[in-house]
Each structure stands twice: as structure tokens, then as C-alpha cells.
Amino acid sequence: MTKEIKQRKQKNDKLIRQEKKITELKSSLVYYKEITETIRQPFVILDGDLQVVTANPAFYRKFKVLKKDTEGRRMYELGDNQWDTPELREFLERVLPKKKKLNDYEITLDLPSLGRKTMLLSARQVDSKQLILLALEDVTERRTLKLNSEIMTKNLIYQREKLQGISDTKDEFIALASHQLRTPATIVKQYVNMLAEGYAGELPQGQEDMLTVVSDSNERQLEIIEDLLRVARADAGKVNLSKTSRDLSKEVETAIDSLKSIFKERGQTVLFDKPKEQMTALVDSKLMFMVLENMLDNASKYSPKDTKVTVKIEQNDGDIIISFKDKGVGIRKKDQAKLFKKFSRVHNSLSDSVKGTGLGLYWVKKIIDLHGGGIEVSSTQGGGSTFIVKVPAGV
């Protein structure tokens, strides 16, 4: 075979190979075009020179461009070169050729028709790098929402810390003020008692009556101070439990006995059907006694004369359950959420005549929470209330 014939044959073989590649490329293009046109996300197909071969309908709708102004043009030239950014060039010319496949590459574009947009690009080289499939996702709103969310979160954290600081300062003030008030109030109590017992001589009846008023007011003041101190300690996490195994049935009996004179004075009775078996739980006896006294006293204070308070205790699913049912004024549904909040008092027909700081049930809930239990209420206005205290059973 002569040299000339050999060169001619090589040239023909090369042309055949090129025509075959073109045919395959066209075939691939039809295949990819059919796929991309069904995808809702904007999608373009680029050739090796980064010219737009075609794009799906979502691309034209999203970026408000025409097919005739898009196909056959380099990606950078689209829309009066608005796509010609360092980020996009970096992605298509340097990053993608090394990776051949890349997802979620973020760039920001200033598009006259749409404004400033943040896009996530995902691309893949196919057909021996002859085609590039490029998907574009507009994440501007998502990024803005995330940024706003982060700013809002920072503001909320700042506000929370600020409020916590105010709350801590308030608690410190309450604790300090209560400590300072307790000393003079205690001294007043001592001297009032001394006067009442005749240490300064016999008092006329009128002065004794006035001294009784002073004594009652002083006792009330000391009760308020003690309530404030308890709450301050609880809020500061300084309440430590000293747990022992106790029969809560006996604890209920003791609490009822301690308030016997109060129930008698108010013309009320307490019904307690003591169970035969022990109701044993690990509790701080002193604090639990305060809970029981508070619940009984509340049931009495918010009930009319000649009514009954029913106390029941039982064990169920690993809990000791103590219920306090009264025939009192009841609590409106919308007011029940306030019951266990600090300094909160529910207004009803008896609340104005009943003295209170709005700390009793708050303190009760704190104690029960420390024991790993819970407290809830069931009530209707005018139909009485039932408070249920639960603590884990145990020995």
C-alpha cells in the first residue's frame, strides 16, 4: 500500500469516528433532553466549550429568558453577561473538570430581572466530558429565612439572658430584703409577747385588744417573709431534700390534726378514710408536711362554712396519690393555669377575704417537682375543686 493511499485511509477512518461521535452525542442529547424537560428544577445542558446546548422549560420560566437568546451561547454570555461571575467560572472551569461531579456549590448572582439571587449548582460530566448537565436551585429565600432565624435566635437568647439576669437580681433582692425584714419582725414579736404576758405591768382591756391586732399583723408579716425566703431558696436551687421512708397515711393524719382548730373555727369537717396498708414513699418529711398542710388549708380557706373536705390516699402504677376534694367556690378553666405561678392569685367570691401571697401553690409544686412527682387540679366554678398530688412510691 502506497503512502498516499495509507494517509487517505487514515483520514477517512478519522472522519468516520468523528461522525460516529456526533451521532452518539446527538443521541445522548435527545435522551438527556427528554429527561431534563420533565424536571421542575431549572436545568441546562452544556457542551465541552460551555455553550448551552439546551435547557428545560423550568430554566426559561425561572430566569425569564427566551430559547433563542440562550441556546448556542456560552453560559457566561447569557443575559448580557450577567452570568459571567468569578464564582461560576471557578466552578465550571476549575472545580468541575477535576471533580467530574459536584453537588450544592453555592454562588450569588445579580440578575436584572430577578435581583440578587443565591444559587446552588449541581453538575455532572457525561459522555466522556462532551456534555455537562447543570442544575440550578434558587435558595435565596431559604438563606434569608435561615439568616433571619439566626438573628432572631440570637435576639431571643439575648432577651432570655437579660430576663434571667433581671429575675436573678429580683430573687437576690427578695432574699436579702426578707432576711433584713425577718430580724426586726422577730424582735417586734418578742416584745409584743412580753407585753401580752405582763412583763411591763397589767394592760387595760383596750390596750390588750390593740396588742392582739399588732400580734396578728406581726405573725402575718413573718409568714410572708418565710414564704419569700422559701421561694428565693427554691428558685436559687438551694433546697436540698433529706429523704426518709415515711407512711404518707400517717403524715396526712398528722397534718389534719395540726389544722383541727382551724377547721373547727370555720365550721368545717375533714373526712379521711385511712387505708389499712401503708402508703410508703421516700420523702423529705418536713417539706412534705408543709405540702399537706398547705393543700388542706387551701381547701378550707376557699370553702364556705359547714362544708366537708375529703382526703383520699391510694397507690397506683408506682405512685402514691393523695387527693384533696372540697365543696368550695371552684376555679374557672382559664384561671387554672395561673394556680402554680409565682405571686399569682385567682379572684373569686372568697379571695378578697382570704389572706395570701400567691406563693403557696408555687412552693408546693416546687417541693413535689423536687420529689419527682406532680400536682394537678380538676375544678369547675361553683362546683368545688380536687387537687391531686403524686409522689413516687418507695421504701
Looking at the chain, the whole-number percentage of residues with pLDDT higher than 90 is: 18
The CATH code of the domain that includes 8 is 3.30.450.20
Residues 163 and 133 in one domain: no
Separation of first and last alpha carbons in the chain: 108
**Rounded CA separation 333/380 (Å):** 7
Residues 255 and 120 in one domain: no
Reported as a pLDDT band with limits 50, 70 and 90, residue 35 is: low
Residue 231: all three cell numbers together: 421561694
Residues 251 and 387 in one domain: yes
Domain boundary, last residue among 138, 154, 186: 138
Residues 264 and 211 in one domain: no
Q: How many structural domains is the chain composed of? A: 3
Residues 288 and 366 in one domain: yes
Reported as a pLDDT band with limits 50, 70 and 90, residue 340 is: confident
- The 8 Å CB, 24+ separation contacts for 142-146 are 143/118
pLDDT of residue 392: 93
Mean local confidence (pLDDT), 323-337: 86
The CATH code of the domain that includes 289 is 3.30.565.10
Residues 197 and 109 in one domain: no
Cα torsion through 164, 166, 167, 173, rounded to 10:
150
Residues 377 and 306 in one domain: yes
Residue 275: all three cell numbers together: 387505708
Range of the domain at 368: 243-392
Q: Are 295 and 389 within 8 A, CB to CB?
A: yes
pLDDT of residue 389: 95
For the entire predicted model, the pTM comes to: 0.52
H or E element in which residue 384 lies: none
User: pLDDT tens digits, residue range 100-142?
Assistant: 787 888 888 787 777 888 888 888 887 655 788 888 888 888 8
pLDDT of residue 170: 67
Q: Please return the burial class of 324, using the count of CB atoms within 10 Å of its CB with bins 0-12, 13-18 and 19+.
A: buried
User: How many Cα atoms occupy the beta-carbon half-sphere of 276 within 13 Å?
Assistant: 0
396578728: which residue's cell?
A: 216
Residues 181 and 55 in one domain: no
Residue 45: all three cell numbers together: 445542558
Residues 253 and 342 in one domain: yes
Of 325, 322, 241, residue with least CA distance to 285: 241
Residues 286 and 384 in one domain: yes
Residues 187 and 64 in one domain: no
User: pLDDT tens digits, residue range 275-329?
Assistant: 989 999 999 998 899 899 989 988 888 888 889 999 999 998 889 999 999 988 8
pLDDT of residue 250: 94
Answer with the residue of higher pLDDT: 210 or 358: 210
pLDDT of residue 149: 83
User: pLDDT tens digits, residue range 178-232?
Assistant: 666 677 777 888 888 888 888 888 888 888 888 888 887 777 777 777 777 777 7
Residues 255 and 377 in one domain: yes
Q: Are 92 and 107 within 8 A, CB to CB?
A: no
Q: Which one of 61-75, 82-96, 296-310 scores highest in mean pLDDT?
A: 296-310
Residue 212: all three cell numbers together: 392582739
- The answer on pLDDT for 95 being more than 90 is no
Domain boundary, last residue among 207, 235, 263: 235
Whether the CA torsion 175, 176, 177, 179 is positive or negative: it is: positive
Domain boundary, last residue among 138, 159, 177: 138
pLDDT of residue 279: 93
Q: Are 318 and 279 within 8 A, CB to CB?
A: no
User: pLDDT tens digits, residue range 379-394?
Assistant: 888 888 999 999 999 8
- The answer on pLDDT for 237 being more than 80 is no
